[in-house]
């Protein structure tokens, strides 16, 4: 009973004070008056659906926060003593631009519809413990951002309810080159969720204003990789993308999204052995080849070549698509700057074959072995296919006859002894 009276007495005194003539509404409660109740860990509020909600505010944590020098009523403008239910705090009074961006975002629209799971300001920034993003204790400090986002995006129930990308997609980031650099090395410069998706203005990737829309991906990645962006913009792929050709590959088509790994990782799409398959994702599509008049069967003709066969059997140093055509700076063969321009082929081939001269690469590179495209190669191939097949058959026949002969001779020898 004494405990209850000690809790109620300050509230009663404050209520009486505000009830006096000329004093009611004169000024809001002070921080000290607020903390007389909210500084007690035992005070809780009953929830309609059952359970309780703690009303405790860690004053020390609040004072260390970015808002710590202000008053409670700066945010809780409707606070009175004693007070009933407070309205939800509006951060937009002080942060109008952020509020406007948030309202147009996926989270903001979901929140406006009443979706309780949609991230709100306090879910990412905290409540009474908000700190500057440069503070290592802040939820929005670069090393902490991924953990904050994954609290919701690794929740299987939320994923299923709102048809979000699978949990595996989110977890893949942690094992990617960016996630590893962040988690294991603590590199603050590595890409985190907000660098790619934005912070307050997060939008679905199919919306043109989204940072992850196909047209915007090169610019997005170029924020951290400006030199590569410059090469890409000058390439046939970059010019195609800027020219509105939606099929032109962007960074994520070759490197992946959340699963980006080092080029030395055998699972990477740009690992030397995987590059032909990655490039063929576009160059083997009949629709793309026909629509843009591209040479066809690039993958099959490469895999049929010495380089392709060597790569298939594990010789990772064998030339692949990027070895000849380039990586981010791919240009048409007619361009004087292209690595596969006739004038530049000796230099390109010379990277692996130091003695390559002007005549080294005069023949066609991707040879389609058909009577119409390469009669000589086709004839030699057919000859050796038939010749080797006949040799194998003769060897099998020889071995079979030899085996039968041995059995016959063994039987004759055994009969003679009998």
Residues in the chain: 418
> Within 13 A of 14's CA, how many CA atoms are on the CB side?
22
Hey, is 325 helix, strand or coil? helix
Q: What is the mean pLDDT of the chain?
A: 88
DSSP-assigned letters across all residues of 335-390: STT-TTSGGGHHHHHHTT-TT--TTTT-S-SS---STTT-HHHHHHHHHHHHHHHH
Is the pLDDT score of 95 beyond 90?
yes
For 262-280, write each residue's pLDDT tens digit.
999 999 999 999 999 999 9
In this predicted structure, what is the pLDDT of residue 20? 41
| DSSP helix, strand, coil percent of the chain (3-state; round to 5) | 50, 0, 50
For 198-212, write each residue's pLDDT tens digit.
999 999 999 999 999
In this predicted structure, what is the pLDDT of residue 363? 79
Report domain extents, the chain. Answer: 1-84, 96-212, 369-394
Q: Is the pTM of this model over 0.75?
A: yes
């Amino acid at each position: 009973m004494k405990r209850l009276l000690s809790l109620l007495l300050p509230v009663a005194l404050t209520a009486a004070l505000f009830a006096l003539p000329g004093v009611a509404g004169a000024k809001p409660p002070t921080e000290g008056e607020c903390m007389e109740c909210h500084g007690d860990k035992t005070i809780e509020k009953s929830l309609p659906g059952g359970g309780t909600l703690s009303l405790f505010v860690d004053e020390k944590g609040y004072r260390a926060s970015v808002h710590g020098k202000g008053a409670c009523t700066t945010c809780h403008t409707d606070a009175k003593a004693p007070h009933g239910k407070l309205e939800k705090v509006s951060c937009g009074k002080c942060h109008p631009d952020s509020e406007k961006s948030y309202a147009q975002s996926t989270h903001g629209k979901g929140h406006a519809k009443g979706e309780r799971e949609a991230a709100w300001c306090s879910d990412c920034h905290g409540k009474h413990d908000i700190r500057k993003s440069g503070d290592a204790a802040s939820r929005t400090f670069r090393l902490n951002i991924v953990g904050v986002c994954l609290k919701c995006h690794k929740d299987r129930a939320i994923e299923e309810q709102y048809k979000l990308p699978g949990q595996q997609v989110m977890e893949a980031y942690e094992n990617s080159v960016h996630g590893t650099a962040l988690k294991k090395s603590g590199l603050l410069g590595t890409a985190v969720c907000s660098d790619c998706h934005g912070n307050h203005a997060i939008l679905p990737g199919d919306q043109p204003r989204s940072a992850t829309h196909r047209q915007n991906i090169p610019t997005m990645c170029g924020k951290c990789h400006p030199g590569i962006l410059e090469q890409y913009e000058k390439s046939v792929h970059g010019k195609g993308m800027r020219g509105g050709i939606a099929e032109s590959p962007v960074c994520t088509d070759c490197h992946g999204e959340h699963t980006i790994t080092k080029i030395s990782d055998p699972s990477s799409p740009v690992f030397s052995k995987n590059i032909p398959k990655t490039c063929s994702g576009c160059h083997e599509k009949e629709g793309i080849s026909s629509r843009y008049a591209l040479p066809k069967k690039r993958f099959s003709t490469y895999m049929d070549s010495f380089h392709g066969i060597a790569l298939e059997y594990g010789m990772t140093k064998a030339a692949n698509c990027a070895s000849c055509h380039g990586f981010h700076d791919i240009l048409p063969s007619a361009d004087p700057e292209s690595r596969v321009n006739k004038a530049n082929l000796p230099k390109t081939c010379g990277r692996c074959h130091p003695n390559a001269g002007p005549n080294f690469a005069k023949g066609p590179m991707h040879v389609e072995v058909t009577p119409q495209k390469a009669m000589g190669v086709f004839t030699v191939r057919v000859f050796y296919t038939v010749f080797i097949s006949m040799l194998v058959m003769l060897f099998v026949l020889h071995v079979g006859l030899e085996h039968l002969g041995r059995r016959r001779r063994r039987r004759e020898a055994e009969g003679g002894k009998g």
